[in-house]
Amino acid sequence: MLLVAAAGRLWRRRRRPGSRPPASRASKDRRNPFGETGLVAGREIRERLRGRVFRVVTALLFLAIAAIIVIPTLRTASAPRATVGVVDGSPALDDGLRALAHRVGLTVRLVVEPGLAEARTALRAGTLDVVVDATRAVLVDQALSATDTSARATFVREASLGLGAQGAYARAGLTSSQVAIIAGAKPLAIVSLQPAKKPATSSETTALLGVILNFIVLTQYLTWTLMGVMEEKASRVVEVLLATVRPLQLLAGKVLGIGLVAMAQAAALVAFALILGQAAGSSFVHGTAPLVAAATLVWLVLGYAFYSWVYAAAGSLGERQDQVQSMALPLSLPLILGYIVSLVGVSSGSPSTLVKVLAYLPPTAPFAMPALVGFGLVAWWQFVLSVLASLASTVVVAVYAARIYRRAVLRTGGRVRLSQLRRVPSATR
Amino acid sequence: MVGFLGPNGAGKTTTMRAIFGLTDLDGGSVRWNGRPIGSAERRRFGYMPEERGLYPSMLIAEELTYLGRLHGMSASDAAAATARWLERLAVADRAGDKVESLSHGNQQRVQLAAALVHDPEVLILDEPLAGLDPTGIDVIGQVLVEEARSGRCVLFSSHQLDQVEDLCESVTIIDRGRLVASGTVDDLTTAGAQRLAVRVEGDRDGRWAAGLSGVSVSQITGGEVRLVLGTAPSDAVLDAARAAGRVTKFDFERRRLSEVFRESVGA
C-alpha cells in the first residue's frame, strides 16, 4: 500500500504541469473511501478468488505442504521392519542376526525355512524380505543399490560380511576363543580434522521450503499480473476504464489487488504449515523456523512489489494472449537465477558467496535472503539494508513501469516496442 | 442529439478519444461549458468506444455496477442503476451471465448500459448502431432519443446517415480533421440550391436528364432523378421531362443528409 502511494505521489509530481487540470475529488469519492485504486483492487481480488485456477492451485499447495510436513513424521514414527527367513540356522545364528538388527535399527522377525527353494519362493512372493542361508548366501528380491543406506540394506550387507567371516574363521581352524577375540575386535578411532557437517536444522529446512514457496507464488501471480493487463488491453476495456480513472490508478489497483491475493494465499499456507507442523510434532516449526517463515513472507511481499510493476508494464506492450510466454520468459530470467542459485545453496548445506551477493540485489534477494536467514548468516542490519535497497529500487521501477504502461496500453495494432514509446509525448493522462 | 459525421479517417474516433484524454492533442483544448475538461467533468460523461470494451469473463451485472462505482456511485445506487438499464435495454434476463456469452447485438446493448449506468450529463458514442439488426437499431435509437429529450447531451458518430437524419436534431461533419459543416438537420438540408425530384414513366435510368444544362444530377434511384438546380429554371427541367414521356413525379425537395455529407466532404 505504502509503495503504491509513494509511487503514485512521485508520478504525480513528475507529470507535466498543465497536462491535465487538477481533479476535484477525482481520486477519492466520499462514497468510496479507498478511491478508484481500491475499487480496481477489489475487482481483482473478487475475480481472482473466484477463478478455478486459483482454487485448484491453492488446494494443491495445501496438499503439498501437508505431505512435506506429515510424511517425514510418519517415517520417524514407525521403525523399519523386516521378516528374515533362515535356512540351516542355529540358535547362535539367530542371536547374532537379532543383535545385528538391533545395532542397525531394524526390527526383525526370524522365520525358520525348511529349505532354500521354499525360502526363494517366499522371498519372491514378498512374505520374506531377506533370506539368510547360513553357509552359502544372503538373498534379497531386488539388488541393493550402492547408495541405499536404509536399515534393511545395512543389515543385509553386514550379515553377508559377518557370515562370510565366520566361514573363513572355521576354514582357518580357529578355536572358539580365537573367534571370540576377533568377533569382539573394536575399530580404531577415526579422528577428523574438522567437525562433521551438521545435519540440516529445522530453520534450514524452512528456508528451503520458503525459497520454493516464493518462486511458485511469484511466478504464478506475476504471470497473472501480466496477463491481466494484456487482457484489459486486448478486450479494449482499458479504453472504457481510462475514460474515468487515471492509468496509474488502474495499474496500481491491479498490482495491489493481485498482490493482496498472493500475500493472503502465502500467509495462509505458512500459517497452515506452522499449525500442522506443531500438531504433527514436525521439526520444521522448532527453533528459529517461524522467524525464517516470517522473513520468507517479507521477501515475498518485496519480491512481488518489485516485479509486479515490470510484469504489468510488459503486459501493456502485448496485444494478444499468445504473446504472454515470449514476454514472460526474459522477465523471469533473474527470478530463475535467484531461485536456482539459492536452492542449490540451501540444498548443499552451505550457501555460496554468490548467494550472499544475490541477497542484496532486489531481483534475486526474495530467494537469497530467506536462504541466508535460514542458515543464520545475516545480521539484522544486513537484512534491513537489503530491504531498503529493494524498496528504493521498487519505487524507481514503479515510476518507469507506470510511464511505459501509460504510453503503451492504449496503443493497439500489434506488439509495442520500447523504442516506439520514446517518440510518444508524455502529456497523455 | 448531435450526429458526428465524417468519412473514414476523418478523425471522429480520435476526437472522441481526445475528449476522454485517451489521445494526445497536437494543439487546442477540449472544453465543456466554456472550461477545459478535467477528470471531474469526464466522470460525468458516458463513453461507448468504437471497439467495444468490457471484461469478457465478468458477470454482466457486476461489471456494470463496477463501472458505475468507478464513476463515483455508491454500491447500492450502482446496482439499482444497473438493474434499471438492463431492464430498459431488454437484457435483464442475462444479468447473471458473462459478457462473452452474449450475441453481438446484446453485447452492444450492455455496452450502451455501461455508458449510461452512472447517469451521465453527456453521452458520447462511437458508432453505437454499427452491426445491429433493425430491432437493435430501433431499441438503441429509441433509448438515445429518450435520453436526449430528457435533457442529456448525446453525441454519436455513424455512417448510417438515414438513421442519423431520423434521430438527430443537429449534425457536425468533419473531414481530414477539420470541421466542414455544422448545424441543425433542418438548416443543413434546406440550405443551398433547390432540389428537384423528377420521375418520367418508362425511363428507369433517367436518360432524359443526361443532356440538361444548368442543372446537375445528384442521384438516380429507381427511375427517380434528383437534380440540383443551377442556372436553369425549373420550368426548363419540366419541359425536358415532359418531352421524354409522361411525368409521374415533379417535386421540390430538401437536401438529404447524405447529399449534405457528400457535398461537404467532396465525395
pLDDT at A117 over 50: yes
Return the pLDDT at A318.
81
Could you tell me the pLDDT band of residue A167, with boundaries at 50, 70 and 90? confident
What DSSP character marks residue A200?
Answer: P
Residue with cell string 509511487 = A7
AA identity, residue B204: R
Rounded Cα distance, B120 and B40, in Å: 12
Number of CB atoms found within 10 A of residue B189's CB: 19
The CA distance from B9 to the nearest CA of chain A, in Å, is: 16
- First-to-last alpha carbon distance for chain A, in angstroms, is 22
Q: Do B42 and A427 touch (CB under 8 A)?
A: no
CATH 3.40.50.300 residue ranges for chain B: 2-188
- List residues bridging with B174 in a β-sheet: B179
Return the pLDDT at A97.
87
Rounded Cα distance, B79 and B68, in Å: 8
- Global ipTM: 0.81
For A162, residues 6+ apart whose C-beta sits below 8 A from its C-beta are: A96, A100
Q: Do A39 and B69 touch (CB under 8 A)?
A: yes
How many residues does the structure list for chain A?
429
How many residues does the structure list for chain B?
267
What DSSP character marks residue A130?
Answer: E
Rounded Cα distance, B73 and A369, in Å: 45
Chain A residue closest in CA terms to B37: A21
The answer to whether residue A428 neighbours chain B at the CB level (below 8 Å) is yes
Return the pLDDT at A25.
38
CATH 3.30.70 residue ranges for chain B: 192-265
CATH 3.40.190.10 residue ranges for chain A: 80-181
**Residue A273: Cβ-neighbour burial (10 angstroms; 0-12, 13-18, 19+):** buried
Domain B2-188 in this protein, CATH class: alpha beta
Return the pLDDT at A80.
80
Return the pLDDT at A21.
38
Contact (Cβ atoms closer than 8 angstroms) between residue A76 and residue A100:
no
Mean pLDDT of chain A: 81
Which of A240, A411, A426 best probes binding to B when mutated, by most B CB atoms within 10 angstroms? A240
Return the pLDDT at A390.
95
The CA distance from A37 to the nearest CA of chain B, in Å, is: 9
Rounded Cα distance, A166 and A163, in Å: 5
Q: Do B22 and A39 touch (CB under 8 A)?
A: no
User: Each residue of A357-403: pLDDT tens digit?
Assistant: 999 999 999 999 998 988 888 888 999 999 999 999 999 999 999 88
Return the pLDDT at A30.
47
Chain B residue closest in CA terms to A48: B58
Return the pLDDT at A422.
67
Contact (Cβ atoms closer than 8 angstroms) between residue A62 and residue A272:
yes
Q: Do A20 and B21 touch (CB under 8 A)?
A: yes
User: Each residue of B142-198: pLDDT tens digit?
Assistant: 999 999 999 899 999 988 888 888 888 899 999 988 888 889 988 888 887 788 899
Q: List B residues 60-79 in contact with A (Cβ-Cβ < 8 A).
A: 62, 66-67, 69-74
The CATH fold assigned to B192-265 is: Alpha-Beta Plaits (3.30.70)
Write the residue in B39, B53, B58 that is nearest to A240 by C-beta. B53
Given strand B2-5, what is the order of strands in its sheet?
B45-48, B122-126, B153-157, B2-5, B170-175, B178-184
**Which residue in A349, A249, A288, A195 sits closest to A5, CA to CA?**
A249
For B69, residues 6+ apart whose C-beta sits below 8 A from its C-beta are: A32, A39, B75, B78
User: Each residue of A122-166: pLDDT tens digit?
Assistant: 989 888 999 988 777 889 888 888 777 788 888 898 889 888 888
Write the residue in B43, B53, B67 that is nearest to A239 by C-beta. B53
pLDDT at A85 over 70: yes
State pTM to two decimals.
0.72
Phi then psi for A11, rounded to 5 degrees? -65, -45
The answer to whether residue B93 neighbours chain A at the CB level (below 8 Å) is no
Rounded Cα distance, A367 and A379, in Å: 17
Write the residue in A236, A243, A412 that is nearest to B42 by C-beta. A243
What DSSP character marks residue A412?
Answer: -
- Across the A:B interface, residue pairs with CB atoms under 8 Å apart total 93
CATH 3.40.190.10 fits A80-181, yes or no: yes
Is A189 in a helix, a strand, or coil? coil
Number of CB atoms found within 10 A of residue B152's CB: 17
**Which residue in A224, A215, A227, A377 sits closest to A288, CA to CA?**
A377
Is B155 in a helix, a strand, or coil? strand
H or E element in which residue B221 lies: strand B215-221
Chain B residue closest in CA terms to A231: B55
Is A192 in a helix, a strand, or coil? coil
Rounded Cα distance, B158 and B161, in Å: 7
Chain A partners of B49 at a C-beta cutoff of 8 Å?
A: 236, 239-240
User: Each residue of A274-299: pLDDT tens digit?
Assistant: 888 888 877 666 777 788 888 999 99
Q: Do A239 and B22 touch (CB under 8 A)?
A: yes
The CA distance from B49 to the nearest CA of chain A, in Å, is: 7
Q: CA A200: distance to chain centroid?
A: 16
Write the residue in B42, B55, B74 that is nearest to A31 by C-beta. B74
Question: What are the angstrom distances between the C-alpha of A59 and each of A56, A66, A213, A271, B158?
Answer: 5, 11, 14, 15, 51
pLDDT at A7 over 80: no
Could you tell me the pLDDT band of residue A31, with boundaries at 50, 70 and 90? low
Question: What are the angstrom distances between the C-alpha of B199 and each of A265, B190, B235, B238, B243?
Answer: 78, 21, 15, 10, 12
Sign of the alpha-carbon dihedral angle for A281, A286, A291, A292: negative
Tell me the pLDDT of chain B (267 aa) as tens digits.
Answer: 999 999 988 899 999 999 998 888 888 889 988 898 888 888 899 999 887 789 998 999 999 999 999 998 999 999 999 999 999 998 999 999 999 999 988 999 999 999 999 999 999 999 988 888 888 888 888 999 999 999 899 999 988 888 888 888 899 999 988 888 889 988 888 887 788 899 999 888 888 888 888 888 888 888 899 888 888 888 888 999 999 899 999 998 888 888 888 888 876
Which of B50, B70, B126 best probes binding to A when mutated, by most A CB atoms within 10 angstroms? B70
Rounded Cα distance, A21 and A382, in Å: 45
Number of CB atoms found within 10 A of residue A315's CB: 30
Q: What percent of chain A has pLDDT over 90?
A: 25
**Which residue in A329, A333, A366 sits closest to A226, CA to CA?**
A329
